[in-house]
Structure 1
């Protein structure tokens, strides 16, 4: 049973030296004030124990319809993106409503236990029956009390290259998908890819939907659909509602091209998502040595003032056989892979799994400020550095003033 609280005491907010008392009423933060020192919690008060309190974690990119299917019907032996798609195409044929709902809810419970309260899931709509999408629309309503779930209509096998790809996407939007997706680098030709990007952005703009495109998830330096996506977003003044996921090929672009590309990216204001654990696993598979890391230019994008967030991408599916729902693990791997272990990056690192993910999801009410929904997590550590050192489970997760997770300190469960 969840507990309703009226105050979080002995809370440490990032960038604030003194301990804070965070008052809550009617499910919203009402007053944030400085404490003279540590106090004993009273009735209906939660003790932050001098730990960092941050907004809820955001999982901006996951595939819940495929979660927990690793090895079904076979394992991805090559570890490539393309064999993963083949394995999923075989597994997709046996999808049922109950199957999808059961695995998705299992995964979302795992996320909630790890302090994740906002999730964006991509759902394959290259299925004439739209089984996964219809099931996920049900899941969105079933989990509304614990997780805000956004659904991306994702054409895993293409819009132009899959029969009725565009018709299925339009039907997915009509049924209630929140976000229009795409996968231009997987289309049969570059022309198909360009046409798909232009079409999907227009569709989203027409129906007032967000956009999240699997963009250049490949090591090929000639895969340059990001410039098309950015140009379309700029043309429609839609950039803050458009997300480019993966952009792995950017790690292989030459610096001369990138200098021109970044000018466009800054003008467009796109959001970016990188999935470090999965990209490290899937990319570089066709390289000898040296092997590329297969990640986008995360620090350079951040230095340019663009929003970048980290996501998990997969939980035990044909593309990635591991995953435990802990975004601190993802953050740790990403900081290592992107050469971001300088203390300046570490001190700002939690933004990659909180604020920047919220920006990608276009959340209007997010953060720890008076008047906003009382949603936050209590971490184990007094600073981002300490949090990353331990990567321990969240001590508490508070949603609208109710404590949904409450653990003793140093818990590994």
Structure 2
């Protein structure tokens, strides 16, 4: 891109609430991010005209709408997306989901896996997500070749989409502590294919601490980060986060370990939970909450007051732990709903975590953007010199953003506008249509 583009009258709440900015981009980089003295008038398309000609857009009037760093989805399962019809889950429990998917895994061809990954990745992109970390099933116990072929299929999609979407791939390695020499060789082949991190769910194993140690050594030996499913259980006695804290410090892996779910942390007594949160902060272990899947799967055996399984979001925030919120599963036996939309996930997080003050909503926006960006390894802010990745949403304040879920969004990635997500309200009555348009026009005035 030789010419620059400018987005003006933009609201950047992560910089300063109530302040309008002008943003100039050249060669895919933020050249200028400048405060305005107030609303300005100049040549340029309005937000609502943006859809008409993406390729020629140079200057855009955001009309006070919120502009955020593009979304970063830190915990997904792209290879399982849209598999619900093939793999039902009648009880709605985690254990049936695991068992049913395992029984069907041999029937999923690499082509089927690629189609799922493409579908969910592109849907997430349409909602404003440009960075995704996906955990990929690695069914070594079924067939080493099957495990490698499926992983290669996900890697193929990652490479095909790399110009518009950055995907980190984390294979879920099971019972590594008990692997044979031959199985370790297969795991090494998987690493050599081009994965980004080491994953697993050691709390599901009979010997979780030994598996944490084996996974940690695998990560250290191969220069990879570690991203684990941790304590996805209602039982407060399930506590593998404790040995994970110890191993992180012992292996000098501070800042390179991420713990997803942490459901049992919510069921523990406050003294123990606070001690563990302090340990996570000391070890610089990142946390990811998955409110959609956890509220769906957890508490299935409770009666009366049903636990919802979401981790201690506020306590982790207040304890200084870097925490992100993410979409997890979409239309599969682990979570039959969702769509890979981080605004929708943000709304669920706000409900589940009782996040509603201005300060809390600002932190929630960071949990969808800059904080997962930090975990991902990005400099992911709207500031001069950084790569230009941002999403413009059809809302002028944070409360409306989550209340309406901003149905129209436009995404800018590196050096170009990408086709965003748009819904059109249909009203088949001239009088009502006229009133609706008048209301819309009034809503964008500063």
Which of 162, 172, 189 is 1:154 aligned to? 172
Match of 2:438 in 1: none
> 1:239, CA displacement in angstroms?
2.2
- Tell me, yes or no, if structure 1 residue 193 matches structure 2 residue 208: yes
Partner in structure 1 of residue 267 of structure 2? 252
- Identify if the C-alpha distance between structure 1 residues 4 and 177 changes in structure 2 by more than 3 Å, giving closer, same or farther: farther
Q: Which residue of the partner structure matches residue 391 of structure 2? A: 377
2: CA distance, partners of 1:275 / 1:241: 20
Distance verdict in 2 for CA 1:292–1:45, change over 3 Å: same
Asked whether 1:27 is paired with 2:40, we answer no
3-state SS, counterpart of residue 406 of structure 2: coil
Q: 1:59-87 deviations in whole A, cap 9, x for unaligned? A: 11111111110021x41001011110112
Aligned counterparts, 1:312-351, within 5 A:
312-351=327-366
- Please give the residue correspondences for 1:67-86 in structure 2 after superposition, counting only pairs within 5 Å: 67-72=81-86, 74-86=87-99
Q: 1:282 to 1:407 in 2, by over 3 A?
A: closer
TM-score w.r.t. structure 1 length? 0.92
Checking the alignment, whether the CA contact within 8 Å between 2:126 and 2:421 is kept in structure 1 is: no
Task: Kindly state the Cα deviation for residue 262 of structure 1 after the two structures are TM-superposed.
Answer: 2.5
Q: Where do 1:175-186 residues align within 5 Å?
A: 175-186=193-204
3-state SS of paired residue (1:329): helix
Q: Is the CA contact (8 Å cut-off) linking 1:183 and 1:213 kept in structure 2?
A: yes
Number of the residue aligned with 1:107: 120
Whether the 8 Å CA contact 1:9–1:39 is kept in 2: the answer is no
Structure 1: 5+ residue runs without aligned partners? none
Report the secondary structure of 2:107's partner residue. coil
Q: How does 1:208-247 map to 2 (within 5 A)?
A: 208-247=223-262
More displaced stretch, 318-327 vs 140-149: 318-327
Structure-2 change in CA distance of 1:19 and 1:79 (3 Å): same
**Contact 1:59/1:311 (<8 A) preserved:** yes
Q: Give the structure 2 partner of residue 40 of structure 1.
A: 42
Greater Cα offset, 175-184 or 281-290: 281-290
Aligned twin of 2:8: 9
Counterpart of 1:358 in structure 2 is 373
Look up the SS of the partner of 1:180 in the other structure: strand
- How far apart in 1 are the matches of 2:420 and 2:289? 30
Pairs aligned (count): 405
1:66 aligns with 2:83: no
The answer to whether the Cα contact below 8 Å between 2:299 and 2:308 also exists between their aligned partners in 1 is: yes
- TM normalised by structure 2 equals 0.86
Q: 1: distance between equivalents of 2:275 and 2:196?
A: 32
Which of residues 105, 119, 127 in structure 1 aligns to 2:132?
Answer: 119
**2:158 corresponds to 1:140:** yes
Secondary structure (helix, strand or coil) at the match of 1:93 reads helix
**TM-aligned CA distance change 1:258 to 1:18, over 3 Å:** closer
Q: What CA distance in whole angstroms lies between the structure 2 residues aligned with 1:4 and 1:281?
A: 48
Matched, 1:399 2:416: no
CA distance in 1, matches of 2:382, 2:278: 33
